[in-house]
Structure 1
Amino acid sequence: METDMTRGNPLPIILKFTIPLLIGNIFQQFYNMVDTIIVGRFVGPNALAAVGSTGTIMFLVIGFSQGMSTGFTVLTSQRFGAGDENGTKRSVANGILLSLFVIGIMTVSSLSFMRILLRLMNTPSDIMGDAYTYISIICMGIIANVFYNMFSSFLRAVGNSRIPLMFLVFSACLNIILDLIFVIIFKMGVAGAAWATNVSQGVSALLCIIYITRKMPVLTPERHHWKLHQYDTRIQLSVGIPMALQFGITASGTMIMQSAVNLFGSVAVASNTAANKFQSMVIQGMIAMGQTMATYAGQNYGKGDIGRIKRGVRLALTTELVYAVVSTIVVVLGLPFALRLFFSGNVDLAEILPWAKTYSYLCAAFYIPLGTIFIFRNTMQGCGYGFLPMMGGVVELAARLITATLAIKLLSFPLACACDPAAWLSAAIFTGVSYIYVIKKVENQQVA
């Protein structure tokens, strides 16, 4: 089920590859959202706020680890596009070995400094205990999260986006069942939701490994491949480290924003959590298109067809524009209905809705620049350029820092909510200019 993205009409190929990714991303968000829905309805608003307050920390820890490991798969995509089967297998083995080091370091360091991090983020005292419990258990499952996403990325690198979707759908259903059992029947509270996530992701990782070893010989290393190769390590780290730092920098910015939101109390945190979860579901099409462009650019870069990369980017941007407009409409019309999923009947939604509207409506106005970030960033990464996408994360961090500082000084909730739009607009401009620079540089290298 490999897909050669170097031939044929780009748009049907891009859309055919994106749709399974979109469905998979929605399922992944869905089973993340189930945690908050079940916790909010069966444990209480404070527990929901506790889970929500750790979202940015989770993005930092998991995103950093995941970014590093996913960056290792770019070399696999390039070698597959170039028709180098031996090099493809070697890159898989090298990436797995490097990921084991990353997982060990991130697990130990995240568990060691978690309480300090929660205090620095102004986590309200009434939700501190549950917040620490939830995020600590999630950090124990870094290995499951990273390996699932890395093996899924290996499959996508050779054009297979359907099998990861099938395993993810199964895992999502398992997560929901475990959530219900751990939280409702066993009364495990936020700890139950965290363990349900870890177990379901571990099952997804295991299914990917079994499928690759049995059905994908091009991704199955042989015995002599299982060692660190200096050249592969250098190439993979040169992409993986900037991708990890990009996640880390972006997450640091969202943590700053969360710190500003936390100042307004647990009701504001719970409202913002629910609105953010709904928004995360809606924008998954943008993220899926970005993931597609990483594989598309990687394969065509490996083949040396830069003109085809440019054509694919233009078509992807047009598609993202339409998707962004539709997403804006969905958020504006669907927010009141979505909020009812997160809270039980004894919670006054009239108190929740104004906070949620402020965040959601501000963000929805900037979905178009948000969509362009994923395309430009992933295309550059697919071509093996990690530094400029990472610097896009620095631009996001600066924008969020400035906006959040003003929000904290002025005690303005709308300004706290404006952290995301400010970051998206700034990063869209930076990554757009960076993409033009990278493409021209690659074209000049070909001519030379």
Structure 2
Amino acid sequence: MNENNLTEGSIGKTLLLFAVPFLIANVLQSLYGAVDLFVVGKYCGAESVAAVATGTQVTMIVTSLVAGLTLGSTIIVGQYMGSRDYDYVKKIIGTTFTAFAVVALVLTAAMLLFERPLLTLMHTPAESFELTMQYVAICALGNIFICGYNSISAILRGCGDSKRPMMFIGLACVLNIILDFVLVKYFGMGVSGTALATVISQSVSMITAVVYLKKREFLFDFRPSSFRPYGAIVRKLAAVGIPISFQELMVRISFLYLTTVMNSCGVYAAAVVGISSRYDVFAMLSATSMSNALAAITAHNMGAKKPERARKSLWYGMTFALAASLLFWVWAQVSPESMIGVFSKDENVIAAGVPFFRSCSYDYIMVAIVFCLNGYLNGRQKIIWTMVSCSAGALLLRIPMVYYFGLHYANDLGMLGKIAPFVSGLMACYTLIYVLYEGRHDRARECAEH
């Protein structure tokens, strides 16, 4: 089994060696939506760009839900790997796979049943409505593969292995890029072609992962008898995964509401927010990757009774994430036109997008701090705090502000773009205060024990 020891050695080196494959895997996974948008923008019209942009917002909700739930597996597996209880880890793995097969079926049914009312609620432009319906429906059929891949990746990362998930998603990404061009450019399938390319590549990724691990000395044997859910483990996974997933859902809903407001401003504004969401993903990849890495490393070190090492990992991780996010912020300030031009050459889209990009890019910096703090707290299983914090930021701050500014500054995209960094800045402040407060109490307990 390819396991890394996350509780020994240089903290900075251990964190980077574990986090870099996370980052590469997330970059590759993000290329799905980006390549879809790029190919559609190159060979189709603005209505197709808006369809993929809006449809991606819907599919990202599902992906975020699954990623949040499976992160619970990473944390629980990491905790018991840290304490070297391998028999219990095997039970966690079997329970995870079985539970997420059920989750995949439920999510697929929900997407197919509710896509039309959801897209109507989002004020999807009439010109792109049916195309968006096609995109979401086809992507829904790939939920079983999304759940399968994310479950395998979460378990491997919980075991200390971040390299093999990177390999599996790399295969899927290459295949997705090839299929995008083949199906859209040569077969003329447009939006449907991009969605089909995504589903096929995800299926190949999951199946390859299962076959590969079965042939290697992996901790789990993939025998039918091993796919057994244990009630106590299901409850434990739910207690960690559901709050994380819920906070991801609240954040996604708040950004979905922003998309709704932008859609009501017309097809050009809808295209702008869609392109911006692609850059949000890439600019925040370092923060997302470091957050997930910190969750696993913190869980390992808390399981190994090394809380001080977990705390030091947080400050290293935040430094790395900020350094990477600053590069995208500088690009957005210096040349937002070139950023938008990668996905659309339409002069109206570029003109509408410049003020929005310049203002919303400050969120790249704020998010690097918030994500790392939340990853550390998740690894410590301070799940309720992160859930309440993120939900409050989304429901009590971001959505009301989008409503107000959308009502009074509907034509000022620059003003709308300021909302996300303002909210993230507030979240960074109160979460940092909580982490420092918890750290002081931890050190007091450690001194008392000694």
Whether the TM-score (by the shorter chain) exceeds 0.5 is: yes
Shift in CA distance, 213/117, structure 1 to aligned 2, threshold 3 Å: same
Q: CA deviation at 1:229?
A: 1.6
1:325 aligns with 2:336: no
Q: Distance in 2 between matches of 1:208 and 1:439?
A: 39
Q: Distance in 1 between matches of 2:421 and 2:72?
A: 26
**Partner secondary structure for residue 228 of structure 1:** coil
Is the Cα–Cα contact under 8 Å of residues 70 and 240 in structure 1 kept in the other structure?
yes
Aligned to 2:56: 55
Is the Cα–Cα contact under 8 Å of residues 22 and 166 in structure 2 kept in the other structure?
yes
Aligned to 2:97: 96
Aligned to 1:389: 386
Higher mean C-alpha deviation, range 81-90 or range 365-374: 365-374
Q: Distance in 2 between matches of 1:437 and 1:219?
A: 39
Aligned to 1:399: 397
Aligned to 1:413: 413
Stretches of structure 2 lacking an aligned partner (at least 5 in a row): none
- Counterpart of 2:399, as a letter, is L
Aligned to 2:125: 124
- Counterpart of 1:367, as a letter, is Y
Deviations 1:373-412 (A, max 9, x none): 1111111212223211111221221221121111221124
Deviations 1:248-267 (A, max 9, x none): 11111011111111121001
1:372 aligns with 2:373: no
Counterparts in 2 of 1:180-199, with a 5 A limit?
180-199=181-200
Aligned to 1:277: 278
Counterparts in 2 of 1:46-445, with a 5 A limit?
46-220=47-221, 225-333=226-334, 335-343=336-344, 347-349=345-347, 351-397=348-394, 398-410=396-408, 411=410, 412-439=412-439
Q: Distance in 2 between matches of 1:445 and 1:222?
A: 44
Is the Cα–Cα contact under 8 Å of residues 92 and 221 in structure 1 kept in the other structure?
no
Q: CA deviation at 1:160?
A: 1.3
**Partner secondary structure for residue 84 of structure 2:** coil
- Counterpart of 2:342, as a letter, is L
Is the Cα–Cα contact under 8 Å of residues 260 and 407 in structure 1 kept in the other structure?
no
Q: Distance in 2 between matches of 1:442 and 1:183?
A: 56
Q: Distance in 2 between matches of 1:217 and 1:147?
A: 16
- Counterpart of 1:369, as a letter, is M
- Counterpart of 1:395, as a letter, is A
**Partner secondary structure for residue 238 of structure 2:** helix
- Counterpart of 1:404, as a letter, is V
- Counterpart of 1:76, as a letter, is V
Shift in CA distance, 272/390, structure 1 to aligned 2, threshold 3 Å: same
Higher mean C-alpha deviation, range 54-63 or range 154-163: 54-63
Is the Cα–Cα contact under 8 Å of residues 243 and 389 in structure 1 kept in the other structure?
yes
Shift in CA distance, 233/440, structure 1 to aligned 2, threshold 3 Å: farther
- What is the RMSD of the two structures over their aligned residues, measured on CA atoms? 2.1
Shift in CA distance, 104/356, structure 1 to aligned 2, threshold 3 Å: same
Shift in CA distance, 204/265, structure 1 to aligned 2, threshold 3 Å: same
Is the Cα–Cα contact under 8 Å of residues 74 and 296 in structure 2 kept in the other structure?
no
Q: CA deviation at 1:38?
A: 0.6
Q: Distance in 2 between matches of 1:169 and 1:101?
A: 26
Is the Cα–Cα contact under 8 Å of residues 54 and 259 in structure 2 kept in the other structure?
yes
**Partner secondary structure for residue 384 of structure 1:** coil
Q: CA deviation at 1:328?
A: 1.4
Q: Distance in 2 between matches of 1:205 and 1:336?
A: 37
Shift in CA distance, 203/445, structure 1 to aligned 2, threshold 3 Å: farther
**Partner secondary structure for residue 2 of structure 1:** coil
Q: CA deviation at 1:315?
A: 1.5
Q: Distance in 2 between matches of 1:360 and 1:110?
A: 30
Is the Cα–Cα contact under 8 Å of residues 388 and 434 in structure 1 kept in the other structure?
no
- Counterpart of 2:401, as a letter, is T
Higher mean C-alpha deviation, range 431-440 or range 197-206: 431-440
Is the Cα–Cα contact under 8 Å of residues 50 and 271 in structure 2 kept in the other structure?
yes
TM-score relative to the length of structure 1 = 0.93
- Counterpart of 1:153, as a letter, is A
Shift in CA distance, 80/130, structure 1 to aligned 2, threshold 3 Å: same
Aligned residues: 444
Aligned to 1:41: 42
Q: CA deviation at 1:120?
A: 0.9
Shift in CA distance, 440/130, structure 1 to aligned 2, threshold 3 Å: farther
Shift in CA distance, 171/320, structure 1 to aligned 2, threshold 3 Å: same
- Counterpart of 1:421, as a letter, is P
Q: CA deviation at 1:200?
A: 0.7
Q: Distance in 2 between matches of 1:318 and 1:28?
A: 24
Deviations 1:68-105 (A, max 9, x none): 23323321111111111111111101111111222122
Stretches of structure 1 lacking an aligned partner (at least 5 in a row): none
Is the Cα–Cα contact under 8 Å of residues 50 and 267 in structure 2 kept in the other structure?
yes
**Partner secondary structure for residue 135 of structure 2:** helix
Is the Cα–Cα contact under 8 Å of residues 38 and 342 in structure 2 kept in the other structure?
yes
**Partner secondary structure for residue 113 of structure 1:** helix
